[in-house]
Amino acid sequence: MSYSESSIRVLKGLEPVRERPGMYTRTDSPTHIIQEVIDNAADEALGGFARKIAVTLHGDGSVSVDDDGRGIPVGLHPVEGVPTVEVVFTRLHAGGKFDKKAGGAYAFAGGLHGVGVSVTNALSTRLEVSIRREGRIHRMAFAGGEVAEPLAVVGTVGARSCGTLVRVWPDGRYFDAPRVRRAELERLLRAKAILLPGLRVTLTDEETGEEKAWQYADGLVSYLGESLPTGDAAGYVSPIFAGEAYAGAGDSGGFSEGEGAAWALAWCEAGGAGESYVNLIPTLTGGTHEAGLRSGIYESVKEFVTHHGLLPGKVNLQAEDVWRHVRFLLSVRILDPQFQGQTKERLTSRDALRLVASRIKDPLDAWLNGHVEEGKRIAELAIKAALTRQKAGKVVEKRKQSGAAVLPGKLTDCESQDIARNELFLVEGDSAGGSAKQGRDREYQAILPLRGKVLNTWEVARGEILGNNEVHDIAVALGIDPHGAEAPQGVLDNLRYGRVIIMADADVDGSHIQTLLLTLFFRHFPRLVEHGHVFIAQPPLYAVKVAAQGKGRPERRLYALDEAERDQILERLREDRVRIDHVHVGRFKGLGEMNPEQLRETTMHPDTRRLLPVTLPPEALEQARSIFTLLMGRGEAAGRRAWMEANGNLVEADI
């Protein structure tokens, strides 16, 4: 197989989307590419420019979305030299949602990167757009992502009539199922009406003649009320607590004007569940905004319980005890949200946790103290959950203590007895260990600083490894003995932590320490790896400080895992027209350089950190063993040299 200059392909225009559609959208059905069009219409409504969204399922499998917003601009684009509507549908990373400052087309919007409807166009056999703007009706059509019919004026309308109609024929070659999922589409449209009180949303099916319409005057409360269970089986159900809070100009919390949240929630004995949205985009797998809601609710209920003396002795209330019975709807507005992937199913913006927690806590404090009897019943649910959890934890604790040893003096242990929740951080160096001790949650996070590099234990006999102080301390802290792959499952009965997290610097030395610890666990504690107890923390290598951009844009700190992520952040800031002299990029030399708050936010807090689980499928066992032998074996120097000569160009290392 030849590898030459002609082997390198350059994908242009919309080719990248058709080549790798899964990078840009969900490919189970065309529902998400239709959602991109609906989201654009909803962004017009969010800005106060649209009052109606009408979606039609046509008999030929196409779908149309009509709104009465401002209409996509149709004049020549000042840079591209073609009609702006053509730029919107045929250029990746082209859109009106980059400039979020005063004077921009949008302030809060679900669209971020300008790839939405261009992806829709790329994955459709045909797309037609009709725009009502400035008294005229403009029409343009695309086929296979390319212009099929140039922009033309096809009629006139009243001066006040404006909006955009997009009709899409999805290309079945790119999807597992050729048609949109009706139920999913209905949930999406209903959610838009709920989150934007007063907006009228309709869905018409031409084949069946059925038409559905949604319009809610009181939005979240109505929707949540419909989903709450009734009857004896539901047990206790609290009244709905609803509210909203947004940052004003010069907000002391450092948030931009208009950022905040609206919510509706209730406690239900039958169990909790909820839905969350960011700038009207459904976040199906949650994210940092849900974590903020959970944190704010927990702090408020905990204060109420303490103030009224409701907590029995030796009962330790935790966030999940309060959260377990919450039914909620959460709608968040964030100026520059960061999502996991183009489908935006999970929010990753770290500031969202603090934003939502700070918005809900004071209103919930007031509500609980204004509804004391309801507050006490809510507290009873949480305390009951805590008692159940602690009872289960004590069973594990009794087994654990049967072979207790004196814990190492440098271990800073946690308070909780809940083994499944407890975490042990193996931290490189005393400096980082000091920051980790201050930044941890002392309730369930323990810290064990490691002095120097751990012994290479690949060829050390099992009976001899405890002679090394660092290995000895790790084993004693974990509460288990070294063992082989043939060890019984009960070898983990005395395990003291459900998660063992390797937290080393994001450099070559840190990678070496990670490798040595992974060697130790793979060779001498294989059951720990097999049962998914080992994780690797991913601290950021770069911090990007963005100076305040006027009253509406306070100072921000963004963190990047590596050079590629740093460059993505800088590119996004350039797209947002942030002046280069307002951006400062700093590089962390190590974990010890981070203050406790930074270390907690980026590397330790469960809702904002990144963890890599260490897993090893049975079929990969022999391959892993051979790789460890090559890398760590004393007699494998020649093999390592040959491997580096053959593969050294693949290594991306900061040396």
Given the residues 171, 423, 473, 505, the one annotated as active site? 505
Residue 473 annotated among the catalytic residues of the structure: no
List, in sequence order, the alpha helices (H) in 47-196.
84-90, 116-122, 182-195
Query: What is the C-alpha separation between 120 and 123, in angstroms, rounded?
Result: 5
Q: Which of 91, 93, 113 is nearest to 336 (CA)?
A: 113
Given the residues 257, 428, 473, 601, the one annotated as active site? 428
Looking up tokens 């009207």, which residue turns up? Answer: 280
Structure tokens that stand for 362 in this block:
């004071």
Query: What is the C-alpha separation between 322 and 324, in angstroms, rounded?
Result: 6
Residue 428 annotated among the catalytic residues of the structure: yes
H or E element: which one contains 330? strand 326-333
Strand partners, 132: 137, 163
Query: Rounded to 5, what percent of the chain is helix, strand, coil?
Result: 40, 20, 40
Given the residues 205, 269, 413, 507, the one annotated as active site? 507
- Residues 142 and 13: beta-carbon distance below 8 Å: no
Question: For 270-291, what is the HEC assignment?
Answer: CCCEEEEEECCEECCCCEHHHH
Question: For 407-430, what is the HEC assignment?
Answer: CCCCCECCCCCCCCCCEEEEEECH
Residue 362 annotated among the catalytic residues of the structure: no
Q: Which residues have C-beta within 8 Å of that of residue 185, sequence separation ≥ 6?
A: 31, 34, 55, 203
Residue 430 annotated among the catalytic residues of the structure: no
Query: What is the C-alpha separation between 355 and 342, in angstroms, rounded?
Result: 23
- Residues 356 and 297: beta-carbon distance below 8 Å: no
Cα-Cα-Cα-Cα torsion 521, 523, 524, 528, nearest 10 degrees, comes to: 40
Given the residues 146, 459, 509, 654, the one annotated as active site? 509
Of the CA atoms within 13 Å of residue 241, those in its CB half-sphere come to 25
- Residues 408 and 428: beta-carbon distance below 8 Å: no
Cα-Cα-Cα-Cα torsion 40, 45, 46, 47, nearest 10 degrees, comes to: 100
- Residues 491 and 480: beta-carbon distance below 8 Å: yes
> Residue 151 CB: number of other CB atoms within 10 A?
20
Angle value at C-alpha 17, between 13 and 19, nearest 5 degrees? 105
Any idea which residues carry the catalytic annotation?
428, 505, 507, 509
